[in-house]
A = this chain, B = another copy of it.
Amino acid sequence: MPESDLQAALAEFPHFHSLPRELLARLATGCRFVRLGAGEVLFTQGEPVLGFYMVRSGAIQLHRSTPDGRDQILQTVVPGRTFAEAAVLSMKRMPASARALSDGTVVVEVCAANFLPLFREDSRLSAAMVVSLSMWLHSLVERIEELQIDSAPARLARYLLRLPSSEKDGRVTLELPMAKKDLAAQLAIAPETLSRLLRRWQDDGVLEARGRELAILDERVLTAIADREDAEA
């Protein structure tokens, strides 16, 4: 029964929606939905590669363990994006671990065993994969840019400005897509620093915060901070 659902789900993804229905159907055969609760682990670094994934809802965090046991965040994958394609295409084992960031996270698993033959035989599929790999490259480059900014305020401001925002009765509002501790980890700053920055900006009237809901009051100040790289309110 989930057969056709799966096919529809696959078609929702930007780089697959141009594929002919017949191909999608064959692709769907090796797929399944995976539902995860907050913090639940999808796969772990070093495991054999079973397939690649697409996020439908919630969010997946890719991370690696360092030799001293800490945990580095590679990227947070949001709905509409895929991950682990490179692992399927050119590695035996997962180079990173993946866990769900929120409850109700749903991903589509595309099984490698079914996918690889199709990939080799149909050039439209390889073109699609090239697109998704390119998207990944782009997002990693953005990540590198983020990390090279070594001032915490600039990193946070830049992050906030790039977040999808909506206009609600004249105010630009946005919602943090993850817990503040996770956001802090992603930005490579201490959670305490994140707290302090938000507080200072509130005191200065740059924004308002209630939980994960933020309202940007003065976008120009934020932009200036993001561009300065050294910054201060």
Chain A contact residues, CB within 8 Å of chain B: 64, 66-68, 70, 72-74, 86, 89-91, 95-96, 120, 123, 126-127, 129-131, 133-138, 140-141, 143-145, 147-150, 188, 226-229
Contact = CB atoms under 8 A, between A and B. Distances in A.
Contact of A90 (B73, B96, B130): B130
Given A127-B126, A133-B134, A140-B141, A228 B68 contact: yes
B133 A137 contact: yes
A88 to B, nearest CB: 10
A188 B66 CA distance: 20
B229 A66 contact: yes
A69 to B, nearest CB: 10
Contact of A120 (B90, B91, B127): B127
Contacts of A138: 86, 95
B130 A89 contact: yes
Contacts of A64: 145
A39 to B, nearest CB: 21
